[in-house]
Amino acid sequence: MKITRLAVTAYVFALLIIVLDQLTKAWIISGLSLQEVGRIPVFPPILNFSWVENTGVSFGLFGGGEARWGLAIFSIVVSAGLAWWATQSNRRLLITAIGFVMGGALGNVVDFIDFSGTGVFPWVFNVADSAITIGVVLLIIDSLVSDKPVKVGAAPEKS
């Protein structure tokens, strides 16, 4: 498998998302003392920093039980598939989308193993969740605006 320059771009996006996700959580936990104050209005009612401990996985499902390991493994497998897809792609928007989803998924793996979620909005997002959402929106946009079908296994075009 040849790793193209565009694929490396996706991997860099993923790594930046993971680092940003973890840095913002460390800042929320240590720098803002959010656990003590509970909530900091930023742009009420649209944006507030809120302390939330989620011992489960998505939306608190599974209550922190062993299912989190299954979801972590699933996220790693999906990320590996996305990493491979990045080596096959020749479209910058698709590469960006893949990097965002991969970074968000792997950022959440760190959470499943180590952290409780902190975030913003009533739905409680963090950087990893936001990256997945943005990545999926970019995937949809790419599929709508792309005039070239993705050919899996075809040699990528020179960029």
Q: What is the DSSP letter of 53?
A: -
Residues 6 or more apart whose Cβ sits within 8 Å of residue 147: none
Q: CA angle at residue 27 from 23 to 30, to 5 degrees?
A: 130
Q: Please confirm, yes or no, whether 21 is among the known catalytic residues.
A: no
Take residue 156 and report the two structure tokens written for it: 């990528």
Among 21, 114, 129, 147, the one annotated catalytic? 129
* Rounded (10°) CA dihedral 83, 88, 90, 96: -10
**147 a catalytic residue:** no
The number of beta carbons lying within 10 Å of the beta carbon of residue 85 is: 18
List phi, psi (to 5°) of 114: -125, -45
Q: Which two tokens stand for residue 117?
A: 């979620």
Active site residue ranges: 111, 129
